[in-house]
Structure 1
Amino acid sequence: MSSRSAGRWLAVQALYQLDVVPTEPAQALAFVVELHAAPPEVAEFAKGLVDDTWTRRDELDRLIAEHLPEAWPLSRIGKIEKAIMRMAASELIRSAEVPTPVVLDEALELVRDYAEDKAVGFVNAVLDKVARRVRPGGVPLAAP
């Protein structure tokens, strides 16, 4: 697993924890970094993702909600799926140097690891729409 993949893996755990247990982002991240004995470069990348995602979560939630099917309010989305979509949307916005397919593929790998199988297609569809919105002209990822 690359350092960035490992950082995303840690970040999504911290973001999930923040949604479940009220705490500070630094505390949530410190817990998962220590638990997994993450190297400094992995922890630093994860910190950037967690800080940006958590700070912008309301904006990210609105962006994600705009691309959900009408019958799916954001409150219906599982916490882990929401954490992954928030993080991917944040990375699409803040990290132009990371290709769109990489961001989406990494997010879908996390969904495969943490969520039910049926969530993969759903998250893919939503993130593809988000990517088209925030990165016009970007290359979308094909369906899984």
Structure 2
Amino acid sequence: MSRSKSRAAARLAAVQALYQHDMEGTHLAGLLDEFHRHRLGGEIDDEVDDTQYAEAEVAFFDDLVKGAVARREEIDALIESKLAEGWKLERLDKTMLQILRAGTYELLARADVSTGTAISEYVDVAHAFFDARETKFVNGVLDAVAKAVR
């Protein structure tokens, strides 16, 4: 599998892991272990489609999850500063928030990934969960974050 596909899979898995961490308070080490053993390259539990999760780049996945959790306060403040006046993080859909957190972390900490690549990859992740309006929102917020941090 190409590096771009394995990184795309890692980004999607990172958003799912951050969501689980946020909703269930799963301890980080246990969460990473669960994803390593059952999600990264495992089968997708879907009655319609008998495909597998794409093989994810594990080190990249780990960095996204650990980094987004470790820098959460900084990331959340940055995201909130880019929202429309009167909007708070609490108003965002929980999945949307994790997409923005992972994307913001990547823009902050992964200079090896171009700004355009990082933004378009998280817009693609958003397409897995949302309609066009929300994917434009992801694009706009991450673009504003990138202008602030890059």
- Which of the residues 78, 100, 105 maps onto 2:115? 100
Report if aligned partners of 1:68, 1:126 keep a CA contact under 8 Å in 2: yes
Long gaps (5+) in structure 1 = 136-144
Tell me how far 1:78 sits from its aligned partner.
Answer: 0.9
Report if aligned partners of 1:67, 1:130 keep a CA contact under 8 Å in 2: yes
- Structure-1-length-normalised TM-score: 0.86
Q: How does 1:59-74 map to 2 (within 5 A)?
A: 59-74=74-89
Tell me how far 1:15 sits from its aligned partner.
Answer: 0.4
Report if aligned partners of 1:7, 1:43 keep a CA contact under 8 Å in 2: yes
Encode CA deviations 1:11-39: one digit per residue, 9 max, x unaligned. Answer: 11100111110111222232233333439
Tell me how far 1:97 sits from its aligned partner.
Answer: 1.6
Counterpart in the other structure of 1:8: 11
Higher alpha-carbon Rg: 2
SS of the residue aligned with 1:72? coil
Counterpart in the other structure of 1:51: 66
SS of the residue aligned with 2:83? coil
Counterpart in the other structure of 1:124: 139
2-side partners of 1:75 and 1:102: how far apart?
A: 27
- Give the number of equivalent residue pairs: 135
The reply to whether residue 19 of structure 1 matches residue 22 of structure 2 is yes
Q: Note closer, same or farther for the CA distance 1:25–1:125 as it changes in structure 2 (3 Å cut).
A: same
- Structure-2-length-normalised TM-score: 0.83
Identity of aligned residues (%): 36
Long gaps (5+) in structure 2 = 42-53
The reply to whether residue 90 of structure 1 matches residue 109 of structure 2 is no
Counterpart in the other structure of 1:139: none
